Amino acid sequence: MGALNRVLSQMLPYVPRAIVGRVSARYIAGEKLQEALDTVASLNATGTSATVDILGEFVRALPEASAAREEYVGLVQALADRALDSQVSVKLTQLGLKIDRGVCLEHMRAIAAQAQRLGNLVAIDMEDSSCTDATLEIYEALRHDNRHVGAVLQACLRRSRADLERLLPLEPNVRVCKGIYVEPVEIAYQKPERIRQSFLDLVEMLLTRTSFVGIATHDEILVDASSELLRKHRTAPERYEFQMLLGVRHELRSRLLAQGHPVRVYVPYGRHWYAYSMRRLKENPAIAGHVFRNLFERV
Ligand SMILES: Cc1cc2nc3c(=O)[nH]c(=O)nc-3n(C[C@H](O)[C@H](O)[C@H](O)COP(=O)(O)OP(=O)(O)OC[C@H]3O[C@@H](n4cnc5c(N)ncnc54)[C@H](O)[C@@H]3O)c2cc1C
């Protein structure tokens, strides 16, 4: 299956944009802020919270980074104006991480200050391994005087356990995910079983310390094993949530809600949907497989 998915991912650039758009539509709220707010409102109506992500990453010029900061500050305000239950998620390369780390930190400070003022939280997505050190440093710098920021750790990275040890004194809010980027064997586990083990180790470390954990997965094995850990540690619902992507494994999400677990859905939107979809699809051959399966189901 892995080889087939790799072949499929190489074919993606030849899939017409309109088809990529159709297949991606269920994963993306739309191009406009209004569409994202409406999606969040309908999730909230089912008892699900959200985190909104404005699509975009790896900006090449600082004015683009400033524009992204303003968009995020406006997004946090818009969520408050409509009294929606939604955080926001940011990629640091969208705020200029690769151009000027100091400028990126100042942009993040402004967004985090807005989140603090309005009682919200901004999660810093974790990007590929070239960004890990800088991302964690920025998280630490902010978290010291503003608790309205969250971090992400990728279970596939061998370093994540040590990174979590370092973050724990900050009583962090951490999303644990497998990691979407293809990383070399020297720094990343490759076997699904090993990645799952690492995921559960990170979750358990967070459950046994003062922290908040976002369990971000659609993998039923991990959902069940994490539920077991929650039972074992008698974790209060204020200390964790399951997190899923918009449009993915709806039935699993409904099951978790019915069992009384807090669930948050990641809602991406924005004009950069095509670049985002293509990058995600090419980076992770397994997801290319999902897309083609979807495409054929529709046809
Ligand atoms: C809320 C949230 C935030 C995330 N943030 C980050 C981040 O900051 N950095 C990062 O590197 N990664 C992030 N990820 C992605 C994550 O690292 C994984 O790549 C992704 O969730 C797939 O892993 P999985 O645990 O769902 O397991 P998998 O084994 O990949 O998936 C389990 C099942 O879920 C379904 N599925 C999973 N993904 C999709 C999809 N895209 N489309 C359709 N079906 C799918 C399939 O049925 C699959 O069999 C995030 C994921 C979530 C849910």
Q: Is 121 in the pocket of ligand 1 (CB under 6 A)?
A: no
The answer to whether the Cα torsion of 134, 241, 217, 39 is positive or negative is: negative
C-alpha 103/C-alpha 45 separation (Å) is 38
- Ligand 1 pocket test, pick from 23, 190, 218 with the greatest ligand atom count within 8 Å of Cβ, gives 218
**Ligand 1, closest atom to CA 266?**
1
Given 125, 143, 163, 264, which residue is catalytic? 125
Tell me the longest C-alpha to C-alpha distance in the chain. Answer: 53
Q: What is the distance in A from the centroid of ligand 1 to the CA of 260?
A: 22
Listed residue (261, 265, 257, 248) closest to 84, CA to CA: 265
Give the Å distance between the CA of 175 and the centre of ligand 1. 12
Q: What is the pLDDT of residue 11?
A: 76
Cβ–ligand 1 distance for 160 under 6 Å, the answer: no
Query: Per the structure block, which two tokens stand in for 127?
Result: 């990007």
d(CA 292, CA 5): 9
Cα(218) to centroid(ligand 1), Å: 6
> Closest ligand 1 atom, CA of 214?
1
286 CA: nearest ligand 1 atom: 30
Residue nearest to atom 25 of ligand 1 (CA): 217
The reported pLDDT for the residue numbered 285 is 65
Q: What is the Cα–Cα distance from 261 to 259, expressed in whole angstroms?
A: 6
Q: Is there a contact between 261 and 47 (Cβ–Cβ < 8 Å)?
A: no
Compute CA distances 13 → 10, 26, 277, 288, whole Å: 7, 20, 11, 11
* Annotated catalytic residue, options 175, 196, 253, 264: 175
Instruction: Print pLDDT tens along the chain (299 aa).
Output: 467 767 767 777 777 777 777 777 888 999 999 999 999 999 999 999 999 999 999 999 999 999 999 999 999 999 999 999 999 999 999 999 999 999 999 999 999 999 999 999 999 999 999 999 999 999 999 999 999 999 999 999 999 999 999 999 999 999 999 999 999 999 999 999 999 999 999 999 999 999 999 999 999 999 999 999 999 999 999 999 999 999 889 999 999 999 999 999 999 999 988 877 777 666 666 666 766 666 666 54
What number does CATH give the domain 31-269?
3.20.20.220
User: Can you tell me which atom of ligand 1 is nearest the CA of 156?
Assistant: 17
Domain boundaries, the chain: 1-28+285-299, 31-269
Instruction: Give residue 179 CA to ligand 1 midpoint distance, Å.
Output: 8
38 a catalytic residue: no
Is 175 among the catalytic positions?
Answer: yes
What pLDDT, on the 0 to 100 scale, is given for residue 149?
A: 98
- The reported pLDDT for the residue numbered 277 is 76
- Euclidean distance between the first and final Cα of the chain, in Å? 21
Q: Which residues contact 70 (CB under 8 A, 6 or more apart)?
A: none
Find the 62 Cα to ligand 1 centroid distance in Å.
30
